A and B are shown apart, each in its own frame.
Chain A
Amino acid sequence: MMNLSETDIFQLEALWQNSLDPSEKEALEKRLQDDAEFQKAAEDWKLIVTKGFLPPTEEQKELAEIKARMLGYAEVSEASPKQEKEKEQKTERKPIIRRLYIGLAAAAALLLLLWLGPLKGLLLPDSPTDQFFAHLPRDNANLSGDGETGQQAYDRKAYKKAYPALLEEVAAGGDSLNIIYAGVAAIGSGQAEKAIPLLEPLLLAENWQLYEAEIRWYLALAYVDQEQWEQANKLLLVIDQTEGPYSIQAKELMQQIQNK
């Protein structure tokens, strides 16, 4: 290990981090191959870098204790509002009927404000895409099994997790229908721009006719989100004219975006 110069170490670490210039990389790999002493010294240093700086057993115990304390702080901070609410519920049960009337009155007032007043803009979803987006249930009959993480995440509407996992499953040779669900998951997780390159090719391909309506509708939603009004309008017009499963929503959405 002491046989290595600082330049050697700098280059070796860059090699292990895959950040070395290709020509330098080639030269260094050749040197490692030709010079046994250098190779041994490099291996010794790599062992120290990868394993030696990990905490010894005693420090692992200390780290575990600190981790337990941190998790304790996390639990307390997360539990507090709930505990406070429970406490509040226990101590304030007597005027429950009066509170019910007040609650109903407040709800009615809020509804009026929501539909008629300035709160409408604040409380409704930000974009038409959010307003019209709905979960597309998976077509179980066409899927390979329920055990995969991406599909489970999708069913739970955990779209952020589902999106990359579904694509991984497709890349690994899984059911290509997952591409559609990945597109839906992308829109559902606020990454509509990622749905476009997934769904556009499906619409052009001939073997997706069974799912054409779904693909067209979700692609239209992605276009709306990305403010690609012309493309969105084209698709929505087709959906409206075919009077398929999304024609009512398409008509409403077109009305909303007609001035864009």
Chain B
Amino acid sequence: MNTHLTLTDQDIIAGIKQKNKEIEAFFYRTHKDKCIQFALKKFFWKQPDGMTIQCDIEDAEEIYNDACVLFVHNVLKDRITQLDAKLSTYLITTMRYNWMNKARSTKRTTPAQEEGSSETDSTNESMRINVRKAIHRLDPKCRAMMTYRYILGWEDYDDIAKATGKGNGDVIRNLLSRCRKRFREHYVQTINFSGI
């Protein structure tokens, strides 16, 4: 591994897209310390009883890894093609949402932890496949919007505005509204076509 590699964020996205492992490793290691230190200093969660939980090193590493995984996957799937914010800002924002989800609810289950009847499982699986097909049919701008809001779970429109460089929270709200409408149309068409 060339430790003196210097790459722009766009070079990193291009390298990941080309499945260049050296660039992928560079991306992972370059941002790790900064993002983890930020999480340790800034991430906390205040419980209803007033107690505050702070993000510890294990949490920080876990949410950093998850943020990197999601970023790489979304780049490989063409859901994120460019960033207007710094890559570290993107990672920290994803980490923040991961942390909030982790801290505020242990009820929220990951797909691997879900339990249910096989019928429910297969219905959910069909729904997920149809959702992905509907997202894939969107234009790149809307695909990115839906990715930030629903796949990454970013709830604050201002965060999405910062990451995508598209105006402010109000602009994102309007844009997302249009994209969601298109998504719902595609989704219904996909369901009708697949008969599920």
Contact = CB atoms under 8 A, between A and B. Distances in A.
Interface residues of B, number: 44
A60 B124 CA distance: 14
Interface string B84-110: 000000000000000000000000001
B111 A55 contact: yes
A52 B128 contact: yes
A13 to B, nearest CB: 8
A54 interface: yes
Contacts of B155: 17
A177 interface: no
A178 B165 CA distance: 49
A9 B110 CA distance: 24
Given A2-B188, A69-B21, A164 B69 contact: no
B9 interface: no
A66 B131 contact: no
B68 A52 contact: no
Nearest to B111: A54
Interface in A45-73: 47-49, 51-57, 59-60, 62-63, 66-67, 69-71, 73
A240 interface: no
Given A164-B52, A164-B53, A55 B180 contact: no
Q: Label chain B's interface by main secondary structure.
A: helix
Contacts of A164: 51-54
B127 interface: yes
A171 B50 CA distance: 11
B51 A74 contact: no
Interface in A195-216: none
Contacts of B49: 171
B127 A161 contact: no
A67 B65 contact: yes
Nearest to B54: A160
A70 B150 contact: no
A69 B112 contact: no
A1 B188 contact: yes
Contacts of A77: 29, 32
A161 B53 CA distance: 9
A90 to B, nearest CB: 22
A9 B131 contact: no
A184 interface: no
A49 B128 CA distance: 10
Given A1-B184, A71-B65, A53 B28 contact: no
Interface string B169-180: 000010001001
A59 B28 contact: no
A168 interface: yes
A10 interface: yes
A56 B110 CA distance: 12
Contacts of A76: 1, 25
B72 A60 contact: no
Given A6-B180, A66-B69, A74-B65, A51 B51 contact: no
Nearest to B57: A160
Given A59-B73, A63-B73, A70-B69, A51 B184 contact: no
Contacts of A180: none
Contact of B128 (A1, A9, A56): A56
B180 A9 contact: yes
Contacts of B139: none
B128 A168 contact: no
B102 to A, nearest CB: 14
27 contacts: A1-B187, A2-B188, A6-B180, A9-B180, A51-B124, A52-B127, A52-B128, A52-B130, A52-B131, A53-B128, A59-B132, A60-B112, A66-B69, A66-B73, A66-B76, A69-B21, A70-B65, A70-B72, A71-B65, A73-B24, A73-B25, A74-B61, A77-B29, A160-B56, A164-B54, A171-B51, A194-B52
| A-B CB proximity, top 4 nearest | A56-B128, A52-B131, A53-B150, A73-B28
Given A54-B110, A77-B32, A161-B56, 19 more contacts: A1-B187, A1-B188, A6-B181, A48-B131, A48-B187, A52-B128, A54-B124, A59-B73, A62-B73, A66-B69, A66-B76, A67-B69, A70-B28, A71-B65, A73-B29, A77-B29, A164-B52, A164-B53, A171-B49
